[in-house]
């Protein structure tokens, strides 16, 4: 029996495949390599000693997706594949809806036709929008503020309705907070396309000298130092959360929405200082106006993941920055 990982050569996908293989799961990766490289397969092999079976297929191609299920006995799916840039989604919303929704619909239809009824879905804390309070628990209302987040919310709803129509399904919706860091081997990590949208990849490029200074998007929020506060979680902690979610899905039916965060919030300037310490580099910065769509504070209530999955994040912000810097130094151009 195999686990199919869509988007498995990507940042979170590749880290999850490493942990799945370490747990002796048979892993099959499908990816169209739009936002990743086949080199990730070699890195997974180097870390684990196992070269995962790989299909270079776009999930928009339903006929080719059928072949994967025809050729393999797939017990469960972890669905990472999708476009994920918040800013880009605002400028090309139709592309985001077309890709992120149709790929999920194709996957669900093919899974159902092959009686594969266990899915772990890569959702995001962005579905909560600007929360009325923090920490955020899974009962909070959803209110997205950009097309990317809305595709996550729509996909959650599609999967919920799939379960309602067929109670033999197990659906786990994992809501990630802010994934950062890299495997401690330095062999896999985050490879942003072009100018990084997210904080830590941008800070990493300031530390390597690729960028002159960090633009801090606003310091007039009602937070510890006026800059945005987020719940940064080590990507390996996130990957381990997926292992627990797969094991839970194997023994339960129904739909569960689960936050994957640390429950701790750090400001932009606190992360900058942690990265400066990890890299030994001065991180120059300038305070700019707020970024449209940004919220002040966001961090997780982590009780449900601990009670239901027996999972909690273990790595601290210093380790996240150390592992990110280690990857950055060893891969100045990312995993290409």
Residue from 22, 112, 215, 304 touching ligand WQD (CB under 6 A): that is: 215
**160 counts as binding ligand WQD under rule CB under 6 A:** no
**124 counts as binding ligand WQD under rule CB under 6 A:** yes
By beta-carbon proximity to ligand WQD, the closer residue of 77 and 86 is: 86
Residues in region 6-65 near ligand WQD by CB under 6 A: none
CB 262 within 8 A of CB 139: no
**138 counts as binding ligand WQD under rule CB under 6 A:** no
d(CA 189, CA 205) in angstroms, rounded, equals: 14
d(CA 274, CA 120) in angstroms, rounded, equals: 32
Residue from 27, 76, 110, 216 touching ligand WQD (CB under 6 A): that is: 216
Check the CA dihedral 225-227-230-236 and report its sign.
negative
Q: Interface with ligand WQD by CB under 6 A: which range of 13-21, 209-217, 244-252, 258-266?
A: 209-217
**260 counts as binding ligand WQD under rule CB under 6 A:** no
CB 180 within 8 A of CB 125: no
Residue from 3, 86, 108, 110 touching ligand WQD (CB under 6 A): that is: 86
CB 20 within 8 A of CB 92: no
Residues with active-site annotation: 148
**β-strand partners of 119:** 77, 171
Q: How far is CA 91 from CA 81, 118, 147, in A?
A: 20, 34, 9
Half-sphere exposure for 106 (CA within 13 Å, toward CB):
22
By beta-carbon proximity to ligand WQD, the closer residue of 114 and 217 is: 217
**126 counts as binding ligand WQD under rule CB under 6 A:** yes
**127 counts as binding ligand WQD under rule CB under 6 A:** no
Check the CA dihedral 242-243-245-246 and report its sign.
positive
Cβ partners under 8 Å of residue 305, min gap 6: 241, 244, 258, 259, 260, 311, 312
CB 75 within 8 A of CB 116: yes
Q: Which residue is nearest to ligand WQD (CB)?
A: 228
**291 counts as binding ligand WQD under rule CB under 6 A:** yes
Q: Interface with ligand WQD by CB under 6 A: which range of 105-113, 185-193, 211-219, 324-332?
A: 211-219
State in angstroms the smallest separation of the CB of 220 from ligand WQD: 12
**183 counts as binding ligand WQD under rule CB under 6 A:** no
Residues in region 188-207 near ligand WQD by CB under 6 A: 197-199, 202
d(CA 258, CA 175) in angstroms, rounded, equals: 6
By beta-carbon proximity to ligand WQD, the closer residue of 86 and 108 is: 86
**273 counts as binding ligand WQD under rule CB under 6 A:** no
By beta-carbon proximity to ligand WQD, the closer residue of 171 and 216 is: 216
CB 313 within 8 A of CB 262: yes
User: Which residues would be at the binding site for ligand WQD (CB under 6 A)?
Assistant: 84, 86, 124, 126, 176, 178, 197-199, 202, 215-217, 228, 230, 268, 291, 294
């Amino acid at each position: 029996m195999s686990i199919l990982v869509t988007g498995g050569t990507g940042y979170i996908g590749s880290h999850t495949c490493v942990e799945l293989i370490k747990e002796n799961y048979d892993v099959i990766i499908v990816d169209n390599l739009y936002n990743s490289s086949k080199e990730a397969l070699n890195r997974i092999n180097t870390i684990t000693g196992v070269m995962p079976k790989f299909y270079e297929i776009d999930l928009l191609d339903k006929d080719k997706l059928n072949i994967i299920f025809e050729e393999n006995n797939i017990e469960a799916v972890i669905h990472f594949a999708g476009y994920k840039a918040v800013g880009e989604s605002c400028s090309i919303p139709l592309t985001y809806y077309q890709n992120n929704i149709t790929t999920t619909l194709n996957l669900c239809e093919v899974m159902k036709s092959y009686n594969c009824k266990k899915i772990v879905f890569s959702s995001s804390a962005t579905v909560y929008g600007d929360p009325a309070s923090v920490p955020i628990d899974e009962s909070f209302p959803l209110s997205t503020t950009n097309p990317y987040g809305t595709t996550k919310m729509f996909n959650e709803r599609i999967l919920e309705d799939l379960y309602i129509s067929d109670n033999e399904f197990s659906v786990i919706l994992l809501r990630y907070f802010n994934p950062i860091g890299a495997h401690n081997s330095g062999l896999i990590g985050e490879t942003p396309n072009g100018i990084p949208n997210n904080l830590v990849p941008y800070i990493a490029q300031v530390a390597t000298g690729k960028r002159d200074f960090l633009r801090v998007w606003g310091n007039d929020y009602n937070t510890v130092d006026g800059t945005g506060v987020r719940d940064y979680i080590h990507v390996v902690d996130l990957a381990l959360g997926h292992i627990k979610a797969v094991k839970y899905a194997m023994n339960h039916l129904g739909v569960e929405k689960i936050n994957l965060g640390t429950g701790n919030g750090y400001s932009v300037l606190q992360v900058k200082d942690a990265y400066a310490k990890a890299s030994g580099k001065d991180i120059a910065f300038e305070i700019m106006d707020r970024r449209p769509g940004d919220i002040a504070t966001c961090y997780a209530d982590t009780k449900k993941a601990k009670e239901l999955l027996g999972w909690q994040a273990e790595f601290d912000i210093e380790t996240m920055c150390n592992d990110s810097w280690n990857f950055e130094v060893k891969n100045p151009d990312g995993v290409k």
